[in-house]
Amino acid sequence: MKNIKRSLIALFAMLAISCNVEDVQDRPVIEGVDSPVLTAPTSGAAYVLKPENAAAQAERFTWKSANFSGDVQITYSVEIDKKGNEFKTPQVIGSVVSENQVSVTVETMNKAALALKATPFAPAEYEARVSAVTGNMAPMYSNVIGLVLTPYTTENPKLWVPGGYAAASGYPKDWDPASSPQLSASGFGKVDFEGYVNFAGAGEYKFTSFPEWKGEFGEGATAGTLDPKGANLKMTAAGYYRIEVDTEKLTYKTTATSWGIVGDATPGAWDNSTAMTYDAAAKVWKITVDLVGGKEMKFRANNNWDVNMGDTGANGSLEYGGDNIKVATAGNYTITLDLSSPRNYKYTVTKN
């Protein structure tokens, strides 16, 4: 009986081995044979992307199928990267399974360009390719084509204020647009720029339309005017300046400001501002003061009402001429005023 059992076990083992060998021999070998071939668009295609067309198709990418020597499911992805970057930071703008085309919207293409640090409204060169992947195999890549993209932004336009004053005034570097303080327009497509910049002393500066030396504005022929080819602008005295620029009229205005709090909750009531102190490292105005409960306050510049800010909506954001800020209970408070982010002015009132 034992011999019969041993024989049966041996027989089943041989059958199992035989079946496994046959399965392996019959199984198709999956390997990359032919890469996909990108057939559209043609190299050099240019796209001026616009926000009003965000949902529209920017391009339909098409390609010839990859060959993995078998009937397998293939995932295709269209990638773009900056020209010359060798796809070290590719952005995927479309992906499909076992198909030979993908439609890419204006918005998708624009987001990819911005993710690659594109400068809005400025054309730049990119490269595109298609990757093909199946299972755990390494991807195969198509031919590479060149594209020219002009992306957009719906954010408020900005101006940068680089100059020789910066390092001494609490900003990272002199004459470095990327790290310099900014001015902001009132909305998308607007040309009225505003912001606040600290000057620790007299100094020279310019305006740039980008965080680099492009779209410059310098001194115009007469006071208060700008010229794209003009010399450096000059700030003649130290101060914390409100700067206003109109890039269409090519004019600018600087107003030295010294900020304080005012209101029946403050020591000076509604007649006299209680002065705040500017902290260049933190880039905020500060004061520690006793406030009266159940009363109100505002921020104002230069101890007059020409420039004042309140909080319409009681949401921590400030607006010119906004509503009075209510002080619920009496006590000693630390108050900050942050004007470092143009047109996004904030404050805090913290009881000590």
Same domain membership, residue 276 and residue 206:
no
Range of the domain at 272: 259-351
Same domain membership, residue 179 and residue 251:
yes
Domain boundary among 219, 237, 257: 257
User: Would 325 be classed as within a structural domain?
Assistant: yes
Angle at 321 between CA 316 and CA 326, to 5 degrees: 45
Same domain membership, residue 264 and residue 251:
no
Stretch 275-295: mean pLDDT, rounded? 98
State how far the Cα of 290 lies from the Cα of 268, in Å rounded to an integer. 11
What does the pLDDT read at residue 120?
85
Stretch 243-247: mean pLDDT, rounded? 98
**Secondary structure of the chain: what % helix, strand, coil (to 5)?**
10, 45, 45
Angle at 78 between CA 73 and CA 83, to 5 degrees: 145
Domain boundary among 103, 120, 150: 150
State how far the Cα of 279 lies from the Cα of 334, in Å rounded to an integer. 13
181 Cβ contact partners less than 8 Å away, ≥ 6 residues apart? 160, 161, 166, 171, 195, 196, 197, 198, 340
Whether residue 81 contacts residue 88, with contact meaning beta carbons closer than 8 Å, is answered with yes
Is 65's pLDDT higher than 90? yes
Stretch 266-281: mean pLDDT, rounded? 97
Same domain membership, residue 135 and residue 71:
yes
Is 16's pLDDT higher than 90? no
Same domain membership, residue 280 and residue 239:
no
Is 85's pLDDT higher than 60? yes
The CATH number of residue 266's host domain is: 2.60.40.3620
Span 156-169, pLDDT tens digits:
999 999 999 999 99
Closest CA to 124 of 111, 109, 108, 113: 113
Three-state DSSP at 24 gives helix
Total domains in the chain come to 3
Domain boundary among 202, 231, 257: 257
Span 102-142, pLDDT tens digits:
999 999 999 999 999 998 888 999 999 999 999 888 999 99
What does the pLDDT read at residue 3?
52
How many CB atoms neighbour CB 303 within 10 A? 15
The CATH number of residue 130's host domain is: 2.60.40.10
What does the pLDDT read at residue 237?
98
What does the pLDDT read at residue 4?
52
Same domain membership, residue 305 and residue 240:
no
Same domain membership, residue 345 and residue 266:
yes
Span 172-209, pLDDT tens digits:
999 999 999 999 999 988 999 999 999 999 999 999 99
Whether residue 290 contacts residue 272, with contact meaning beta carbons closer than 8 Å, is answered with no
